[in-house]
Structure 1
Amino acid sequence: MSNNKGLKRKELYDLVWSKPISKILEDYAVTYSVFKSLCKKKNIPLPKTGYWQKLKHNKKPVITALPDLKTEETLIVLPKSIPGEDDLSQLSELALLTREIKKDNKLNLIVPKKLSKPEKITLATKRYYKEVKASKRPYSIKDPEEGRLSISVSDNSVNRALLFWDSFIKLLVNRGHKVEVIRNHKYSYYNGTKFVIHGEYFKIRLREKDRRVMEDTGHKWKTAKYYPTGNFVLKVDEFPEHEWQDTKTKTLEDKLANILAYLELWAKRRTKERIENEIWNREYERKRKIEEEQKQRRTEELNKFRSIINESSRWQKAMNLRNYINVIEKDATQKNKLNNQLKEWLNWLKDKIDWYDPLIEKDDELFKNIDRDSL
């Protein structure tokens, strides 16, 4: 555990009123909900929504005084966020990775106000949308060789969109990921710019939210018109879909670490699921093959056994017929009725029995295409 000795109740009260909880939690390994529950348990009031915005604009927000505590006061221990310690067990996997990215000094999480050494795809995207805007036939503009980023924003927001994308791509590259342009895939959905994270491909687009306004038309009905709000939404078009958007307190630019952490975890989860599916499919195929082989063997042996049954039956019938001939021949001899006509008929029957007998199967021109087992 951490060597953190703990805070007095008044010290924690002063802390939560000195800076936002999100900033406080950068130094401690507890989640937002755990921290709020702890403050509630110790009856420590927290700033209300809008407090930090008012403070930022030099207004005087209301500060709630610290109530007296009737029970005996004890030190409040908040575990420090030291990598590798058990204290981190209270954090989610996403929170841990987000924290790791934020604390990596090699990564730049600040989006600049101007493009500086932009990526090739950023410049290609900027050039593409400039040509689209100037063209009377925008759909005739071909995608640049470097590929382009998906941007659906108003003219006033294009520069911000390019700055965000460029910063995001540089962050990806510094984390060992890349952007890849896919063309001529047999399925058109897979074509275009893809973000490759831990070997997994993601299609991501950036758009600006619109505000819908019903306006008069001069007639009895109204028409809907849409106006840009300046609020950005970053969406991953993969299943299950996920998106991030500007809020009152945080913009997309403030969420770079969280976005990247989520995508990295998502990619690892997809890889794991794919490997598990491949293992399952291989095992399923192995069992299916064994079952198919057993089925084929069963069919072959069953057919073979049926054939033996049929042959045995035919042999028994052939023996019965021969006994029948003997009885007729003996009876005719005793009664002195064994004439040439009867002998001819008996010889004909003997030939047919020899054709039918599975141990003989004598050829017969007239019965050439007759199935003996079907009789």
Structure 2
Amino acid sequence: MDQSLNLRVPNKLVKPHTMVVEMNLKEDDPSRFKINRDKIINRGDTFDFAVGKKSLVRAKLILDSFVKAVEKRGLKIMNCEGITFLLISEEKIQIRLWEKSRFLEQDENSCGFRDQELSGELYFQYMRRCTCVEKQWGDTPYSKLEEKLGRVNGSLEYIGKKEHEQRLIREEYWREYERKQVIIKEENAKKEAEFSDFKGLLGQSIRWERTQAIRKYINCVEVNPNSTIQGIKDRDEWISWAKAKADWYDPTTSCDDIYLNEFSSFHEELLEGKKRLDRNNVCKL
């Protein structure tokens, strides 16, 4: 910590910081809970604090010294919607000034929440995820918070720098992760395209093989004048029709057909029994 900083807390406010001046006394609505009646919670445009009326003057003195020391270090305090952040190495470190409270003994016949009383002990708290106290510095039976401001400032700066380092590590990790994901995505796309092309090749080879079988059958009928085809009267007409259908089905020719659309996966699924022909899809033939 910079030894030139004045971290001694005075007995009275001298040219108080604007943030301290604006710590207006604003009490919550009356409540049956003692803690809410005695504690002043100011969460507006000034420092996030919650202290009792008896501790308010002391809290202002501590906070005034703290804020001035922080700003002399070139750091900045930011208040946003009732939450206070100390900006260190581009990191927002959430802090607050808090007075500890204790639960009171509850009457055997009473029910509901237990009342609390303020202890007079003040703490600077470093918060994580808005509500979780990660670390705190405050009054003990042997020392007061006023004596620990140098430790508080030094610790918060260290925390800010460590969080900045950790954030850079996380960002680098995620950059590398995203880079690897792009590579994996590209490789998977190539694999998918390769397999799709192979699937198409396999399908075409099977069609071609089936076409050869069809043509052999047509040729057998054609060269054998005595061959008969069940349900067919005009043999020559059938041979002409069959050759046209073979040319339509053959992937190496894919000739147009007078009635049928170009052979597609729809036709394949019909042939394999995966689909049924009905009035809704007959137009795709």
TM-score (norm 2): 0.79
Residue in structure 2 matched with residue 361 of structure 1 by the alignment? 254
**d(CA) in 1 for partners of 2:173 and 2:191?**
26
Using the TM superposition, give the Cα deviation of residue 369 of structure 1 relative to its aligned residue in structure 2, in angstroms: 6.8
Q: What's the counterpart of residue 272 of structure 1?
A: 165
2:60 to 141, 147, 162: 162
| 1:121-148 C-alpha deviation (Å, 9 max, x unpaired) | 11112x3x2xx24999xxxx9976xx21
CA positional deviation for 1:194: 1.8
The aligned amino acid for 2:68 is K
Any gaps of 5 or more consecutive residues in structure 2? 31-40, 272-285
Calculate the aligned-residue CA RMSD, in Å: 2.8
Amino acid across the alignment from 1:262: S
Aligned to 1:258: 151
**Cα contact 1:214–1:222 (8 A) shared by 2:** no
Give the SS at the match of 1:122: helix
Quote the offset at 1:236 in angstroms.
Answer: 1.5
Structural mapping, 1:155-234, within 5 Å: 155-182=53-80, 192-214=83-105, 216=107, 221-222=109-110, 224-234=114-124
Look up the SS of the partner of 1:367 in the other structure: coil
C-alpha contact (below 8 Å) 1:233/1:244 kept by paired residues: yes
Distance 1:361 1:123 in 2: 88
Counterparts of 1:276 and 1:250, CA distance in 2: 38
Deviation at 1:211, TM superposition (A): 2.9
Letter in 2 for 1:209: K
From 219, 238, 245, the equivalent of 2:128 is 238
Residues 134 and 212 from structure 1, CA distance in 2 versus in 1: closer, same or farther, beyond 3 angstroms? Answer: closer
- CA deviation after TM superposition for structure 1 residue 298, in Å: 1.2
Structure 2 residue 26 is the aligned partner of structure 1 residue 150: no
Instruction: Work out the CA distance in 2 between the residues paired with 1:298 and 1:336.
Output: 50
2:217 pairs with 1:324: yes
CA distance in 2, matches of 1:211, 1:142: 20
Residue 241 of structure 1 aligns to a residue whose secondary structure is: strand
- Residues in 2 aligned to 1:326 and 1:320: alpha-carbon distance in whole angstroms: 10
Q: Percent identity?
A: 31
The residue matched to 1:248 in structure 2 has which SS? coil
Note the alpha carbon deviations across 1:34-87, whole angstroms, 9 max, x for none.
xxxxxxxxxxxxxxxxxxxxxxxxxxxxxxxxxxxxxxxxxxxxxxxxxxxxxx
* Compared CA separation, residues 121 and 271, structure 1 to 2 (3 A): same
Q: Which residue pairs with 1:74 in the alignment?
A: none
In structure 1, distance between residues paired with 2:248 and 2:126: 77
**How far does residue 172 in structure 1 lie from its aligned partner after superposition?**
0.8
Q: Quick check: which one's helix share is greater?
A: 1
Deviation of 1:227 after TM superposition, in Å, equals 2.1
Match for residue 276 of structure 2?
Answer: none
Counterpart residue identity of residue 126, structure 2: V
Amino acid in structure 1 at the alignment position of 2:242: L
> Aligned pairs, how many?
252
Q: CA deviation at 1:296?
A: 0.8
Matched, 1:248 2:108: no
Question: CA contact under 8 A between 1:310 and 1:373: conserved in structure 2?
Answer: no
Match of residue 314 from structure 1: 207
1:345 and 1:211 mapped to 2: Cα distance?
101
Residue equivalent to 1:68 = none
Task: Report the Cα distance in structure 2 between the residues aligned to 1:213 and 1:135, rounded to whole angstroms.
Answer: 21
| Alignment deviations for residues 80-131 of structure 1 (CA, whole Å, 9 cap, x no partner) | xxxxxxxxxxxxxxxxxxxxx2xx4411121111111111111112x3x2xx
Seen in structure 2, the aligned counterparts of structure 1 residues 221 and 373 have a Cα distance that, compared at 3 Å, is: same
CA distance in 1, matches of 2:123, 2:221: 101
Q: Deviations over 1:150-204 (max 9, x none)?
A: 2211111101111111111111112221112346xxxxxxx64321122211221
CA distances 1:248-301 after superposition (whole Å, capped 9, x unpaired): 111111111111111111111111111111111111111100110111111112
Tell me, which stretches of 5 or more residues in structure 1 are unaligned?
A: 1-100, 184-190
1:56-71 to 2 correspondences below 5 Å: none
* C-alpha distance in structure 1 between counterparts of 2:57 and 2:235, whole Å: 113
Amino acid at match of 2:158: L
- The Cα shift of 1:370 comes to 5.4
